[in-house]
Structure 1
């Protein structure tokens, strides 16, 4: 996409903040535990930054797991929805490129469905600054499993307007891994996948798709045409035409570790 479209899409979610919070899927416990495993086997008490926290979907899980969460979110409407749902959680105005936290103040920085909106050449040094040596940076993404035939058909019916399918996200994650995540600051990135199936009806799935950025920035007639096409497709498939059905999602996690202080100093020499 063009830079202008990337900016428009990245800033589009506030207009549907309430629906986003209600409809977007959460993350499996084991995915988050795997993301945090390089820091500690017991995640309770870890100082975790939820960067690009949105409406707090990932934050809720981090709280339930017992971590000490600070949420950072640039969009005012998303922050307002977050504060309505999680009023007792520390929530700061900021972005991946400008994190309002002290040096070395976090054990981990987690990014749920957000890292692809970062300007990475500015975000990585800022994240490295906030992380303590040995701390973890991890991105988590929920993806439709297009290895399943009807899910691949849904991607076609939606004209690519859904979240990237698993096959595309794997390629994007591989490209991020190839960046080496600034070898002066981070170790080589690792990747893992976790099943995250979700129950839906045709209407709830269409409503969820309507919270995705490509649809949000479409002209209304084009958006309506795509959503009607998706509804029609779901009615024609035996897997999705009979009421509730399971959508096979896969949560992909990419994690890397901040280099230890002695390695960092060695890189400076």
Structure 2
């Protein structure tokens, strides 16, 4: 995407903030622990925090969390659901925190929206020495046959280039982190994946996919047709046709250490 298109996609979520908060999954705790493992202390910035899906897991794990989110509607939902968390308006490119004020910066399904040429040095600025930067992405496990079928039916707007494990590995292998060395001062990236899942129904999974950026920006008639295909697929699969089911997922983590 060019910068204008990237900005358009990144700014699309506010219109669906309530649905995003209701339907998007949290993150595997083992993945969050791995992301934080090298951090020198408990102070964590959740950057591009959205409605607080990752923030809530960090709080549960005992981190001292500050959340930063640029979209006012998403920030309102975060403050509503997590009133005790310090939640600030800001972005990856302009972080409203002092130098060396956090031990880790985490981003849940958000790092691919950052302009890392600007955000990399800014993230390095707020990180303490030896601090950690990590991006986390929830991906659907298309090693499961019916999930692979769902991906084929849904199309790239609903299940995009970071939404299945193979494409996630390729898309995030160093691509979304600051370049090593230079002003951003980060070391070589590491990847890891952790089992995860989300209890869904056919209706709630359709609603979840409708919160993806490509779907939010799609013309209404095309979006309705796409969601109709997805609903028809789910209501005709034995794994998903009868009430609740678990959507097989992985939480993928990409991390690097500040040099």
Query: Contact (CA 8 Å) 1:200, 1:247: kept in 2 or not?
Result: yes
Q: 2: distance between equivalents of 1:24 and 1:252?
A: 15
Query: Contact (CA 8 Å) 2:27, 2:138: kept in 1 or not?
Result: yes
Query: Contact (CA 8 Å) 1:72, 1:99: kept in 2 or not?
Result: yes
**Structure 2 SS opposite 1:203:** helix
Q: What residue ranges of structure 1 are gaps of 5+ in the alignment?
A: 260-269
Deviation of 1:161 after TM superposition, in Å, equals 2.1
Q: 1: distance between equivalents of 2:2 and 2:145?
A: 30
Q: What residue ranges of structure 2 are gaps of 5+ in the alignment?
A: none
Runs of 4+ in 1 over 3 A off after TM superposition: 1-4
Q: 1: distance between equivalents of 2:48 and 2:123?
A: 12
Q: 2: distance between equivalents of 1:49 and 1:175?
A: 21
- 1:152-163 matches, within 5 Å, as 152-163=148-159
Q: 2: distance between equivalents of 1:253 and 1:181?
A: 17
Deviation of 1:145 after TM superposition, in Å, equals 1.0
TM-score, normalisation: structure 1: 0.90
- 1:47-196 matches, within 5 Å, as 47-163=43-159, 164-176=163-175, 181-184=179-182, 185-196=185-196
Query: Contact (CA 8 Å) 1:180, 1:187: kept in 2 or not?
Result: no
Deviation of 1:232 after TM superposition, in Å, equals 0.6
**Structure 2 SS opposite 1:70:** strand
Q: Which moved more, 1:111-120 or 1:5-14?
A: 5-14
Deviation of 1:2 after TM superposition, in Å, equals 4.3
1:199-251, CA deviations, whole angstroms, 9 ceiling, x for partnerless residues? 11100100111111000001111110000000011122222122222211110
Query: Contact (CA 8 Å) 2:174, 2:189: kept in 1 or not?
Result: no
Q: Which moved more, 1:209-218 or 1:157-166?
A: 157-166
Larger Rg: 1
Q: 2: distance between equivalents of 1:59 and 1:194?
A: 18
Q: 2: distance between equivalents of 1:35 and 1:83?
A: 24
Q: 1: distance between equivalents of 2:139 and 2:204?
A: 17
Query: Contact (CA 8 Å) 1:180, 1:189: kept in 2 or not?
Result: no
Residue 233 of structure 2 corresponds to: 233
RMSD: 1.5
TM-score, normalisation: structure 2: 0.94
